[in-house]
Each structure stands twice: as structure tokens, then as C-alpha cells.
Amino acid sequence: MQDRQEGVARQLADDLWVIDTLFQGEPGTIASYLLTGDNGLALIDVGSGATVEQLLAGVRAAGFDPTDIRHLVLTHIHLDHAGASGALVRRIPEAQVYVHRLGAPHLAHPEKLLSSAQRIYGDKMDRLWGTTEPVPEDHLHVVEDGQRITVGSRTLLALYTPGHAIHHLAYFDEQRGELFAGDVAGVQLEGSDYVRPPTPPPDLNLEDWYASIDRIEALHPSVLYLPHFGRVGDVEVHLEQLRRRLGDWGALMLANIRQGKTDTELAAILARTFDPDVAQSIPGDETAVERYELVANYLMSAQGYVRYYRKVHPELLAS
């Protein structure tokens, strides 16, 4: 475990840092991206309400003053990406929050978001996510598909990219050909080439997700910046692996849901089938399986598929 007061930031480009929010004390699990420039500091995703101090320490470690943050650009409103927004706005009143239309109401009134998270995480809720403060409505800016926003020194094109979440945007820097991908580009931890699809309920939709991947591929980005975690240069190979695995998991889950397996049993099947590949992808790193599980756990993934098939493809479950 690293010192939480120290802050962990690594420079990726002249105007770009990746900040490690040290989620649960684990490095390399949840990132925030810091953009700098004349237009004020910007963060793309901000991590959870439990890691606000680590995030701000990361900004300082990069050599900047957190009170200069002006833009909080959210790929989607899941707690590991947006949970810190309200606390940041309270501390830095000049900071504005950018979010998809379907996510904005839940940032202003997080009760529903929190009660559904509470159902999943139970008594681990506080430890994992800390306090999720509401964002005052006058700080919320709805971003639509195709809209361009200028933050730091970059202009980013917002791409509506559902599949993982119905309130998901990816942000494309057309000039540099780089995509701040959010979770629609999957999870790949540093040092590993294993791509894991984060498939939580309630929004998982495979058809939407494939269409979002197609849309990203059509832009031919040279780089993906993943919240979980870091820079991916081999974009085509990465997205192809994600597409294949979404389908493989789906087929495996569908067959077992049809046999009446419980959510816990489904999660165990995913772990048994895929953990050997995860472990092998970072030889000698015994924490690899654990860290993948921390950011995209199998139980939630199984529940995502169950809900998806019930909601979108009930005909496949009828026997």
C-alpha cells in the first residue's frame, strides 16, 4: 500500500497526467486524467468519494494547485468514476461538471444511485465509496452526443457510447487521435494484455455495446486512455479482444442461466473459466486476479448478464 498523502501522478504528454486514486489502497485500479492548459485544469473522471484526498494529492504531485481545477468531465456516473464530483465542487466552487443528460439528475440527487449501490455492496458501501455528495444543479452541464467541449488545452468530441451504461460518453481528441474511453473500452490493468468487460446491471446491453465499439473503431484512435487503467496503444487488438470476450461471457452466462444457476454460481463459473487467463497475463504478479476483481467483480458481471437477458432477450430464456 502506498502513502495516501503522497499522491501518485505520471505524465503521459505535455499537457496530460494520469492520477492514481489508489482505490482501496491498490495502485493501478482507478485512474483520473488531468489535462492542463490556459483554460484551467480539467479532470476526466474523478474516482470515488472515498479517494478525494488521494486525487487532490495526485494533482499536487503533478505540480499543480487543485484550486485551479475548472472542469470535471465525466464519462459516466458510476461511483468509481463520478463519486467524488460533489465533494470536489464543494471544495472548488469554480469547478463545473460535464455529464450525459441521463446521468445529470442522479448527480444532483444521488439517492437512487446510492440505494441501488447499497443493494449491491451492503455494509461495504462506506469503505468502498465513501460519501457521495450531491452536485449543485447550477454546476451541472449536460453534454450531448457530437458536442465539443474545450478543456485544458484540448477540444474533446463527446461520443454517446452506451452498452456498459446508458449515460456513457467517451471523449475523442480529434487533433491527437486519442480517446478518453471510459468503461465502454473495457478494463485492462497495466502490465497485462487481458481485457475484461465490466458488465454490471442494470444497463448492460450487448447490441449497444458492439455498436459503440464499431463507432470507436471507425474513428481509428491511436490511443485509448482507460479509467481501469492507463494508456493502451494497440487499439485494434484491444477492442477486438473486448468484443470477443463480451460475446464469450454472454454465451457462457446464457447457457448457465438457462440451467437455473444462481448469480453466485454464475460468478463462480466466470472466475473458474477466466481467472487462469487473468493470472497468466501478468506472470509472477499474484495480485492480478484480485485487482481485476476489485474493479470489475464477477458477481456484478453475472448479475448484469442475467438482467440483460431477462430484459432484452426473454425469448432466449424460454425453454
CA nearest 32: which of 50, 10, 55?
A: 55
Distance of CA 3 to the CA centre of its chain: 24
Dihedral (C-alpha) 281, 282, 286, 291: value to the nearest 10 degrees? Answer: -80
Whether residue 202 has a cis bond before it, omega within 30° of 0: yes
Q: In this complex, which beta carbon is closest to Zn ion, that of residue 188 or of residue 256?
A: 188
DSSP state of 136: P
Grid cell at residue 140: 451541472
Shortest spacing between CB 156 and Zn ion, in angstroms? 19
- CB of 80 vs Zn ion, minimal distance in Å: 7
Which is nearer to Zn ion, 90 or 215 (by Cβ)? 215
Q: Are 183 and 75 in contact, with CB atoms under 8 Å apart?
A: yes
Minimum CB distance to Zn ion smaller for 62 or for 128:
128
78 vs 238, beta carbon nearer Zn ion: 78
- To Zn ion, the closest distance from the beta carbon of 100 in angstroms equals 12
Min dist CB 164 to Zn ion, Å, is: 6
Which residue is nearest to Zn ion, using beta carbons? Answer: 78
CB of 319 to Zn ion, least distance (A): 32
CB atoms near residue 142 (< 10 Å): 14
Binding residues for Zn ion, rule: CB under 5 A, are: 78, 183
Give me the residues paired with residue 31 across strands: 20
**CA distances for 97 relative to 65, 126, 253, angstroms:** 18, 23, 37
CB 63, CB 12: distance < 8 Å: no
Closest to Zn ion by CB, 22 or 296: 296
Q: Which is nearer to Zn ion, 178 or 183 (CB)?
A: 183
C-beta of 183: minimal distance to Zn ion in Å? Answer: 4
